[in-house]
Amino acid sequence: MLPHIQMMSRRDCCLCEEAKKVLEAAAVLGLCRWEVVNVDRDKALLVRYGMDVPVLVLDGKVLFKHRVSIEQLSDALAAVVHGEVGA
């Protein structure tokens, strides 16, 4: 099964738009599935992430904050698949 990434986001966030493009590219390459989570809709998430978005989260762990390239995401997902994350 493909890794499932949650992208913590807010409305009108230019960095979030950039991260969405990277996630879309990763999904097309078959590297992951993903969803956008609007932190403004959940008080606990808003307190946790606030203006500190986008944040890419996998299995409750932060992979990236603010900026990410397709290369960085690909490398991180390869590490997850090979069990290297958190080691």
pLDDT at 76 over 50: yes
User: Which 8-state DSSP code applies to residue 22?
Assistant: H
Measured from the Cβ of residue 77, the count of other Cβ atoms closer than 10 Å reads 20
Which pLDDT score, from 0 to 100, does residue 87 have?
A: 37
Q: Which domains does the chain have, with CATH numbers?
A: 4-81 (3.40.30.10)
pLDDT at 84 over 90: no
What is the CA angle 18-43-22, rounded to 5? 15
Query: Model-level pTM?
Result: 0.91
Tell me the angle at which helices 14-28 and 70-81 cross, rounded to the nearest 10 degrees: 50
pLDDT at 86 over 70: no
CB 26 within 8 A of CB 32: yes
CA atoms within 13 A on the CB side of 69: 3
Q: How far apart are CA 6 and CA 24, in angstroms?
A: 13
Mean pLDDT of the 55-77 span: 96
Write out pLDDT tens, residues 5-62.
999 999 999 999 999 999 999 999 999 999 999 999 999 999 999 889 999 999 999 9
